[in-house]
Amino acid sequence: MIKTMKIIILSAICYLPASLWSDGLSAICLYSQPNKVQFENGFTLIHLEKKGVGLVTATLFVKGGTLNESDEKAGITHLTSILLPKGTDNRTAEKIALETESLGATISAACSNDFSEVYLVVPSYNFKTSFDIFADIVKNPSFPEQEFEKEKIRTIAGIKAKADSIFQVNYDLFNESMFKNHPYHRPVVGYENTIKSIKISEIPDNYRKNFRPENMILSIVGDIDFKEAGLTVEKHFANIKIIGEDKTDHEKHKQANSRSKPTRSVHRGKFHQAYIFTGFPAPDGSGKEYAVIKVINTILGGGMGSRLFTALREEIGLVYEANSFYPTRKETSAFVLYAGTSKKNLDTVESILKKEIKKLNEINDDELQNAKTYLKGVYILDHRTVQRQSWYLTWWEIIGKGYEYDQKYLEDIDKVTIEDIKTTCKKLFNFDKSVTVIMK
């Protein structure tokens, strides 16, 4: 039976039966640019050939991540993800480790707020064999109870270890306050009490809810052509049946950052120093002002030349670190400033943070160009490996920008003007909606 796939090459769209993989598809493939394929069951493949590198990376993102969890089961998707390489219906954890090692391959899994991730890195001549193992891990996990208990212990140990980091403690408290009505308020790994409560019988159900073909986006980058990559992926993923029932309601998450007055909380801990987080609700990664906010973040907290570092450390030496960040998220986000200081200097540091935000209207061309150069340089350097190139193509697709934005992002940064920054700052930095969390 011939399946139908949607083949997307750059901006051109054509519809071909799967059997044409073996006939003429390579003749119309543009190897210098990414290609996108969607199978009839919703599974998506993005491919980019990089001749001569000798490696291939396959990065699978599964939509949802911790978004699909309840507060009572926080951390279950993290556990589900890291258990994937720990055994399948066909291979034990030991066999997976021995086979991948003999092929020079690495297979790993992780979880974040918006997606679960499984990736493969392997020498190109062993791609097909290692992809058999990769596909087995994704499609046929067995979730051995012994491995489950080990991962629970490791996860709880990691949660306890976070209690020794003032940054981690304060950041978790900040997220609880900023995203209190949204799943982003929970740590990806969950809480000690929720991890303890999760039973092995719940893991397969969570897997079936999330690991559905229409939720899967796979990016393959490296020394393999479009035809070979497509045939290999088609063999393993084109005929996956939709299992389970999608019961996730994402609409309830949309009003996460709605607030009409500032929130400020002070917590006391075991630390000798103090820490402050101040944040503002910000657009998700698909927004039109995304690149503008990234430039603003670079000016304010982008490295040792940023305004925060200069004002708080270089000029008056009040902090041991000061920075800002704007996480790229699927549904909503926050623009966050933070600083570590002594308890006696906390009020002064908080005042300077607010002052630096208000001074963002004062920006010149040189500062803007320096920020753009820094931001683009960091982005380009992070594309040095095929693994990161594969990751970015999948990430942009799942965030909502589309895989093509991996190239367009740099263009959008170049287009940012001083007027764009001033306009965006007026909307972004509304102190009536700010959240401040202090640990001292």
What is the structure's pLDDT at 303? 78
Q: Does 21 have pLDDT greater than 50?
A: no
Tokens of 11: 């901006």
Provide mean pLDDT across the span 66-83: 96
Side-chain-facing half-sphere of 114: CA atoms under 13 Å:
17
The tally of domains found in the chain comes to 2
Provide mean pLDDT across the span 361-374: 94
Provide mean pLDDT across the span 6-11: 39
More confident residue, 254 or 28: 254
pLDDT tier, 240 (very low <50, low <70, confident <90, very high otherwise): confident
Residues 75 and 172 reside in one and the same domain: yes
Residues 123 and 175 reside in one and the same domain: yes
- Would residue 251 count as lying in a domain? no
- Would residue 284 count as lying in a domain? yes
Residues 55 and 123 reside in one and the same domain: yes
Provide mean pLDDT across the span 216-222: 97
- Would residue 35 count as lying in a domain? yes
Strands (E), 180-261: 216-222
How far is 372 from 388, CA to CA, in rounded Å? 21
What is the structure's pLDDT at 423? 97
pLDDT tier, 255 (very low <50, low <70, confident <90, very high otherwise): low
| CA distances in angstroms from 90 to 86, 103, 241, listed in the order given | 11, 18, 19
What is the sign of the dihedral through the CA atoms of 216, 190, 432 and 167?
Answer: negative
Residues 311 and 375 reside in one and the same domain: yes
Provide mean pLDDT across the span 174-192: 96
By the 10 Å C-beta count (0-12 exposed, 13-18 middle, 19+ buried), 381 is classed as: exposed
Provide mean pLDDT across the span 76-93: 97
* Cross-strand partners of 248: none
What is the structure's pLDDT at 10? 36
Residues 277 and 379 reside in one and the same domain: yes
Provide mean pLDDT across the span 96-121: 97
What is the structure's pLDDT at 77? 97
Range of the domain at 130: 4-237
Provide mean pLDDT across the span 33-38: 92
Model confidence over 312-326: pLDDT tens digits?
Answer: 998 899 999 999 999
Q: Does 254 have pLDDT greater than 90?
A: no
pLDDT tier, 25 (very low <50, low <70, confident <90, very high otherwise): very low
- Would residue 402 count as lying in a domain? yes
What's the chain's average pLDDT? 89
What is the structure's pLDDT at 302? 84
- Would residue 354 count as lying in a domain? yes
Residues 46 and 190 reside in one and the same domain: yes
- SS3 (DSSP) at 165: coil
Residue % of the chain over a pLDDT of 90: 85
Q: Which amino acid type is present at position 392?
A: Y
Query: CATH number for the domain including 139?
Result: 3.30.830.10
